[in-house]
Each structure stands twice: as structure tokens, then as C-alpha cells.
Amino acid sequence: MTEHSNIKSAAASGCRIGIDVGGTFTDFVLADTATGLITIFKEPSVPKDPSASVERGLPKLLERAGCRPEDVRLIVHGTTIGLNAVIQRRGSRMGLVVSRGMRGILEIGRSQMPNAFSYLVPKEEALVKRRLILETGARILEDGSIESEASEAELDEIAASFRAAGVEAVGVLLMHAYRRPDVELDLAERLKARLPGVEVAASAAIWPEQREYERGLVTLMNAYVQPIMSSYLDRLDRRVKGLGITAPIYITANNGGTLSLATAAERPIDTLLSGPASGVVAASVSARASDIDQVVTVDMGGTSADMSVIIAGEPEMTNNTHIGDFPIILPVVNVSAIGAGGGSIVWVDDYGVLKIGPASAGADPGPVCYGRGGTEPTVTDCYLVSGFIDPDRFVGGRMRLDIEAARTALDRIGAQIGLSESPDRPARAAEAALRVTTAVMTAEMTKGIAQRGQDLRAFTLLPFGGAGPTQANLIADTAGLSRMIVPARPGTLCALGAIMADVKRDYVRSAFFDLTTDGTAGPRIAAQVKQLAEEAGSWIKGEGELLTGHVFSVSFDMRYHGQAFDLPVSVAWADADIDVAAAVEDFHRTHERLYHFRDLEASVEITTIRLRVTGHVEPLRSAAVRPSTAQKTPHTRELYWKDAAHSATVIARDSLAVGDVFQGPTILEQEDTTVVVLPGWHGRVDPAGNLIVEKSEHQ
């Protein structure tokens, strides 16, 4: 790891704003950089144009915080525009140029069936139609030598075909292009000269890693969403500037960092899976502040719930994930979907089985209780009817919920699943729906942790998102967990994490070295790492004056000779040297930890070199946590759980201070969420301002 401090520091005064666009609400967090004080705000989302909710919410946030537009020093924005474009197939009309003989690459993929149990499940529709995948004679061999080049005549013919088809973007994917990126880049430039106004992207420029199918998908997705993302980011920039805010805008990235607006427009692929990553970044900060090392997070918003793992204060990363059925080989915070969200619809199938989601009521019309025309009950309606949330205090009292409409809708569900008619049938139906939701989420969490070779019960649960703290104790109680940690502002944690994150970008090179037999590998590996570092250093210098310095971190994908999989191993790098022996030993240890053996007779190989550059942002100052002095005046509300009504103490979380304790059943209300503490659980406020909720010993 190498530190550099040649970048100008940002001004210490003013404020930063984090924005997270969700399916139901757009969350805003404003941090005063001088005092550390946090102001939050939630504005209903506008699914057709998320920048509209940003434009509406920013003035209200500034007014609440007592700030002026000129006080804003930074805006960090998370968006799912690109991801939704891929899922909903709303991207560019694409063409693809491949080496001769590879025309079926998108259809063949990895030769896997989409479902192991049925031949009837169709494959994901390819991003490029087969008739728009054209072949070229250019070919690079496995050793990097050039067998043949593309002729001018064939490029003329390819360009003419794309023009006739009205193609808006083209990807170039040659066999073994990671060995000779210059060949593919030259081909892309020659095509671009023939296709004015058409974006032409070479896979070696986007992500030069082996595996043509995956490398091609990354390239195609980047080009597929680029026009939509560029248009949205331009519109966002104009609207923010129209409010008198001249601060730079950054976009959250897949790897838990952020990127400048220009980089995000050029490489939207780096932002597609950034949504939950920022929340995990902030969750890791909260866990470290409370000295909790092993955490499983649940981010439950309006449409879905996601799980991630934090070990020793660091979010778990992965280089392999999926968008739908498409494999993505980019470094991302390892987040997996595990269940429904607050807006997920409660329904009964043809066999009388109670189901939750995947359909969501979203922000419009939203749950039945919103009174906007929704007729199908949701998880939020269940919370309301169960007494978990107060109809008069939702979103800080700015939105009144219709509990009678929710009861009527859930009464119909109760009748459909065979519950006898009674005044409490809506509450019983709500509890049944919440039990189904909890069971699905618990099963997925248990499976995900077991696949890591660990026991879920050894983890502390950290919930966030608007519905996360409301659902969390149900999950913990069912899964056998004994402790939860709830951050101070869990409902807006993704927006908070956005302004806590550093600027980050990842670089990769496929490179093959046998560390056991090749005595000259060390200097040659170091030379490739240095080349990546120079490229990354040049980029980070252009990411604005916000940064105070940058650091490089290096890792290798390594394996025993003959293995079909790699293991990531972090390595020390001191500008000009690589300790090969240390890297080999670290690989042995990693393999032994996961598989309980090391093979000292097999050769150890490197297949991929990875480098991350992290541009440091001035850390946010932490606001002081108040001492325990305030006199509390709680009231009570009926909480329906386990077929019984419990008298729950209702406390405004803002009235709690360090050292305060409470005994379940308790409901802690705050503007961005509601924290439910079940009977048999108790909690306290720790010195970091987090709630530590634990199962009582006698339970």
C-alpha cells in the first residue's frame, strides 16, 4: 500500500449532502463539516424522473438545516437508473463486433441452463440481437501474437450494416484482447471514424480481464446504459445548479466508493450495483464505533431487503456477482437480496398460500394506508395494523396513514387464508404476513452465512433502511441471534454512507505467472503493478480538489496449478518490488483457512493482478453524543405479536441519551424509521449513540 498526498485539501467549512433514491422515498442527509451535526429529510420518490424528487427535496433539506445553497461543498448521489435500464431493457440499440467464429457468444454464455430443475425456464434475453453481432477477421492468439487484422473493406461493411440497423452503440470483443489491448482499441477507433455519433467501446478499455463472455457483458452493459445515464446526470446537474448549488456532484460506486460526475457518465457500469453499497459503508463505521467485529446487515427499504457481511470493520467484497442472470466480474460490495420490502404486496395464491412480493406498490400508489389509490395490502400496512408504527407520526408526522383502510385490506387477506371472522382478524392476518416475511428472510440469511462456512448465530444484526429496524427484531428472534445494533439514523444510512465514502476505482490485468518455477516473476509482476498504478494515479488527479491524498492497494487472484477457481490474496507493494515468497505463503494460508489444507507439492500461480486507488475525502467530524440527563415522558401503544396484544412503551429516540436503558416491548420512534423491541429483549444507548438491543437472559 502506497500513500500519496499531492492533491489539494477541500475547505473545512460548509456542509455535505448525501442523496439516496429509493423506490418509495428519496433520502437526504446533510452533514455540517464543522460541527458534525446531521440533518435528515425524506421526500417521496418520482420513479419516472428521480432528479425531480432531488430538486424538490434539496431546498427543504437546506431550510431545515439552516444552510444556504452556497454553503454546500459536496453532493453525493446514489441512483439505480442504470440498473433499472438493464433489468427493464430500456438501453441503447446495441451492436457487437467479435472475432470470427464467436458470433454465438452471448447465446452460449457459460453453457448453463437458467434453471437446473426445468427445461421450460427461458434464458435471459441477450442485450444484442444475433443479427447485430458481426464478425471480423482480426484475431489475437493466446500468447498475445496477432494472427490476422481487420481489413478496411470489412470494417466498411460492418459500419454500413450498423448504420442501416440504426445502432446507437457498439461493443468490440476480440479473443484474448486482454493480452493485446492495443489491437482492440485500434479497431474501435477505426470503427468510430466510420460511425459518427455512435459510441464504440472496446472491452479492453472497460475491463481487460480474461473470459470473453463476462468481459463482453461488462462492455455491453456500459454502452447499453450510457446514453440514459448521461442524460440523467446532465439533467441532475442542471437542476442542482438551478437551485444555486455549485458544489461538485459525485455518484456512489459498486465498490463502496464514489466517482465524479464525469467518470460516472463515462463508466456507468461502475455504478450499476452501488445502491446498497453506501449503506454498508456507513454500517461498518457504526459497527467499529461500538467495537463489534462480526456483523450481518439487513437493508430493508420499500421494494426489497438485502444482506451483507462486515468482518473486522470491513465490508465483504466480491469480484463475481449477477444482474439478473448476467454474470458481472467487477469488484463490488458483496450484497445479496434476501426478501421483501415495506412496499411488497401481501397476496394469496390459488392454493390459499400466503405470499409476500415480489410485486411492490412502490411510491405510487404505494401501500393502502398511504391513501393514494392502492388497494392491495403491503408489509407497511401490516406494520401499521400490528401497532408497530403510528399512523400520526409516519415520516415525522408529515404523512398521515389511513389505518382503517389498511385493516379493511388485511381483513380480506385474513378471510382468504381461512381466519375466522373477528375484530382482530386484520391483526392476525398482519402477523401471519410478517411471519412469512421473517421466515423467508431468515432462511436466506442462514443459507448465505452457511455458504461462508459460518454460523449466523455468531453475528450481530445491524438493520438499516426505512423498514429494516422495524423488521429486525423479528428476524433476530427467529434466527436465534442474541444481539442487534441500530445506528442513530438507520432509515437514511445509505445517504449518510455516501458522504462518508472515499473516491475509489479498480483496475485489473489478466497476467499468468508460475511463482513456484519462474524465478524472474517478481520484477515482471512489479512492473505490471507499477503500470496500473501510473494509470490509476493519472485518473485520481482528475477527480477534483475534494481529495486530500490517495493510496494504492494491490491483490492477486491465485490458485494451485490445475485448479478451476482462484482465491483473492492481498499483497504488499512498495512501488518497485513484490515479495513473491510472502504472496505464496499468504495464498497457502487463505486456502488452508477455507479448505483446511495446503498443497505444498503443487505450483502456485497468479492469474489476475488487481489494483484499487482510493482518494481520501476529509473525514466527517462526529457530533458529540449527549449525556443522559433528559427526563423522558413515554406513552404506551398496543403491539400485536404472537396472537396477543402487548402494552408497548413508546419512546422518542431523540429523547434517549448515552446510558439510557429500556425493556421490551418497546417502540422507539424517529423520523426516518421505527425500531421495534419485542418482549423478552432489552436495550441501551452506547457511547457511540447506537442502540444495543439484546435478548434477555431468562428467555
The most distant pair of C-alpha atoms in the chain lies apart, rounded to whole Å, by 83
Mean pLDDT of 651-662: 92
**pLDDT tens profile 591-608:** 998 888 999 999 999 999
**Structural domain of residue 597, as residue ranges?**
503-617
- Strand 249-252 relative to strand 72-78, pairing: parallel
pLDDT at 271 over 90: yes
Q: Are residues 262 and 178 in the same domain?
A: no
Mark which of 434, 462, 494 sits at the end of a domain. 494
Q: Is residue 263 part of a domain?
A: yes
Q: Within a domain: residue 309?
A: yes
Domain presence at residue 306: yes
pLDDT for the residue numbered 630: 46
- CA dihedral angle for residue 315, residue 340, residue 25, residue 307, rounded to 10 degrees: 0
**Structural domain count of the chain:** 4
pLDDT at 125: 84
Q: What pTM, to 2 d.p., does this model score?
A: 0.86
Last residue of a domain, one of 245, 271, 297: 271
Asked whether residue 51 falls in the same domain as residue 177, the answer is no
C-alpha to C-alpha distance for 438 and 641, rounded to whole angstroms: 13
Give me the mean pLDDT over the 289-303 stretch: 92
- Which residues are CB-contacts of 507 (< 8 A; sequence separation ≥ 6)? 532, 535, 536, 610, 611, 612, 613
Is residue 473 located within the same domain as residue 351? yes
Tell me: pLDDT of 8 over 70: no
> In the numeric block, which cell numbers belong to residue 693?
438491543
> Does a cis peptide bond (omega within 30 degrees of 0) precede residue 687?
no
Give 332's pLDDT tier (boundaries 50, 70, 90): very high
**584 pLDDT tier (thresholds 50, 70, 90):** very high
Please write the tens of the pLDDT for every residue from 494-517.
999 999 999 999 999 999 999 988
On the question of pLDDT at 694 being above 90, the answer is yes
Domain shared by 571 and 464, yes or no: no
Q: Give 543-583 pLDDT, tens digit per residue.
A: 988 888 999 999 999 999 989 889 999 998 876 678 889 99
Using the predicted structure, report yes or no on whether residue 625 has a pLDDT greater than 60.
Answer: no
Same domain, 49 and 94: no
If you average pLDDT over residues 223-238, what whole number do you get?
93
The CATH number of whichever domain residue 61 belongs to comes to 3.30.420.40
Residue 628 resides in a domain: no
Q: Judge whether residue 628 has pLDDT over 50.
A: no
* CATH code of residue 336: 3.30.420
Task: Report pLDDT for 451.
Answer: 84
Q: Are residues 421 and 358 in the same domain?
A: yes
Q: Using DSSP bridges, classify how beta strands 547-560 and 2-4 pair: parallel, antiparallel or unpaired.
A: antiparallel
Note whether 67 and 106 are same-domain residues. no
Which CB contacts under 8 angstroms, 24+ apart, belong to 452-458? 452/309, 453/594, 456/296, 456/480, 456/481, 457/481, 457/482, 458/294
Angle between helices 152-165 and 181-194 (to 10 degrees): 60
Structure confidence by residue, pLDDT tens digits, 102-152: 999 998 888 777 777 888 878 778 899 999 999 999 999 998 899 999 999
Least reliable range by pLDDT among 153-162, 476-485, 587-596? 587-596
Q: 565 and 451, same structural domain?
A: no
pLDDT in tens, 410-462: 999 999 999 999 999 999 999 999 999 999 999 999 999 988 888 999 999 99
Above 90 in pLDDT, residue 398? no
Position 559 in a domain: yes
Radius of gyration over every alpha carbon of the chain, rounded to an integer in angstroms = 27
Task: Please report, for the domain that includes residue 97, its CATH number.
Answer: 3.40.50
- Residue 11: per-residue pLDDT: 37
Q: What pLDDT is stored for residue 493 in this prediction?
A: 92
Residue with the larger pLDDT of the pair 620 and 16: 16
644 located within any domain: no
Mean pLDDT for all residues in the chain: 90
Shared-domain flag, residues 135 and 209: yes
Identify the pLDDT of residue 496: 93
Q: What is the pLDDT of residue 47?
A: 78
Sheet holding 169-173, edge to edge: 133-136, 94-99, 169-173, 199-202
> What is the pLDDT confidence band of residue 5, given thresholds at 50, 70 and 90?
very low
Claim to verify: residue 453 and residue 490 sit in the same structural domain: yes
Q: Is the model's pLDDT at 633 over the cut of 80? A: no
Mean pLDDT (whole number) for 204-212? 91
In a domain, 364, yes or no: yes
- At residue 632 the predicted structure's pLDDT band, cuts being 50, 70 and 90, is low
pLDDT the model gives residue 10:
35
- Give the pLDDT confidence score for residue 325 in this predicted structure: 77
Give domain status of residue 623, yes or no: no
**pLDDT for residue 624:** 53
- Higher per-residue confidence, 545 vs 218: 218
Q: Do residue 476 and residue 520 come from a single domain?
A: no
Do 464 and 572 have their domain in common?
no
pLDDT at 198: 93
- pLDDT tier for residue 699 given thresholds of 50, 70 and 90: low
Of these ranges, 243-252, 392-401, 521-530, the one predicted with the greatest mean pLDDT is 243-252
42, 491 Cβ separation under 8 angstroms: yes
Given 441, 464, 494, the domain boundary residue is: 494
| Full DSSP string of 457-490 | GGSEEEEESSSHHHHHHHHHHHHT--EEEE-SSG
Q: Is the pLDDT of residue 1 over 60?
A: no
The residue-averaged pLDDT of 176-182 equals 93
What CATH number is associated with residue 516? 3.30.1490
Mean local confidence (pLDDT), 349-361: 90
CB 407 within 8 A of CB 385: yes
Q: What is the DSSP letter of 619?
A: P
Q: Cell 467495537 maps to which residue?
A: 291
